[in-house]
Structure 1
């Protein structure tokens, strides 16, 4: 599967083009299906937030958004 952390990416020549599906979303789906990925989803989400903040871009992961909102209470 080809994914990208926080769904970041896209084509510089196609305005508004998105990147690959967010890695966080795929890991969340696979774990929900009972498939052990060996990936710590919380740490993956933290990495996506760090990268997004560094690049000044909004993360594009539905799973990360939901889980971050849950963390915030």
Structure 2
């Protein structure tokens, strides 16, 4: 971000991965990214608790474990 990055790819709950790469466990969790940005004092305009609640629901709906550390901490 200090070098001008304005777009960061992330996914709710870190859900994802690649079926062709067995060691690929998922993606950067949006909740963990937002938590970090808020910790840096960057206002994202995102309600972190609502994001956490949605990601926890989504993981349950998909029958997956949510690996986002922020979800584990706030649920």
Q: Does 1:60 align with 2:67?
A: yes
Instruction: Indicate the larger mover: 2-11 or 14-23.
Output: 14-23
Q: Distance in 2 between matches of 1:46 and 1:37?
A: 17
Q: Which sections of structure 1, spanning at least 5 residues, go unmatched?
A: 69-73
Aligned length: 68
Q: Distance in 1 between matches of 2:19 and 2:51?
A: 25
Larger-gyration structure (1/2)? 2
Q: Which sections of structure 2, spanning at least 5 residues, go unmatched?
A: 1-7
| Partner residue in 1 for 2:53 | 46
Select the structure that is richer in helix: 1
| Partner residue in 2 for 1:71 | none
Q: Distance in 2 between matches of 1:49 and 1:20?
A: 15
| Partner residue in 2 for 1:4 | 11
Tell me which stretches of 4 or more aligned residues in structure 1 moved more than 4 Å. none
